[in-house]
Amino acid sequence: MTLAEEDSVPQGSLRIPGGLFVVFEGIDGTGKSTQLLLLAEKLRQLGYAVVATCEPTNGPYGRMIRELFVDRDTVSREEELELFIADRKQHVQEVITPALSEGSAVICDRYYLSTIAYQGANGMDPELILEKNENFPIPDLAIILEIEPAQGIHRIQNQRNEHPNTFEKEANLQKVAKIFASMQQDYIMRINGSDSIENVHRRVFEAVAKVLAQKTTQPGDG
């Protein structure tokens, strides 16, 4: 089966050996949620079983994290890190690992690179953050969408009609963006998020299709 044969494939019938794990990363307002929805729709049209998810989750730890957005100073930075790790542990156990085992494409809005960037910008040791994340599944592809922090804030305020939360102040986002820019993992792909939604989607899909082709080609094929 190739991507070109998409029209005849019923949704959800194609399984990927070991699943496909794609995460969207980047500062706030880069277009992660927008691109996640477009990618999920595209993969479903191609016939894949897709699980679209996000962190922080809507579970108990995720809800506690969202309360921090109102006032970050109610917990220490160590406690803040522990909340993100507890949320991820539950997310991995209950959603991500089972979906990958079933051969689904799991697409997640934020994952552990966000913890390295945001809790790192908040003064936590990057080595300690990595250590706390080392037992979680490694993504097949992490797409970091890049825009200027001021543009991200502008999008949040003017297009989403929201007020930036305490994580979204420009000086903080500058620090976060710098950490994202320094990451070297070989599964990272950087895409300019200030291009049009359609152009960003095209690049995202090109990158995903490449990884998918590698995953679905069995040794000995071709």
Contact residues: ligand TYD, CB under 6 A: 28, 32-33, 55-56, 84, 109-110, 114-115, 118-119, 167-168
Neighbouring CB atoms inside 10 A of 130's CB total 13
Whether omega for the bond prior to residue 219 falls within 30 degrees of 0, making it cis, is no
DSSP state of 74: G
Residue nearest to ligand ADP as judged by C-beta position? 31
Of 2, 8, 184, 196, the residue at the interface with ligand ADP (CB under 6 A) is: 196
H or E element in which residue 13 lies? none
Give 173's contacts (C-beta < 8 A, 6+ positions apart): 27, 28, 149, 152, 153
Q: What is the smallest separation between the CB atom of 57 and ligand TYD, expressed in angstroms?
A: 9
Residue 160 vs 210, nearer CB to ligand TYD: 160
Q: Does 28 bind ligand ADP (CB under 6 A)?
A: yes
| Shortest distance in whole angstroms from residue 213 CB to ligand TYD | 29
Distance CA 54, CA 193 (A): 19
Q: Which range of residues in 59-67, 79-87, 155-163, 178-186 is near ligand ADP by CB under 6 A?
A: 155-163
DSSP annotation of 63 reads H
- Tell me which residues touch ligand ADP (CB under 6 A): 28-34, 155, 159-160, 193, 196-197, 200
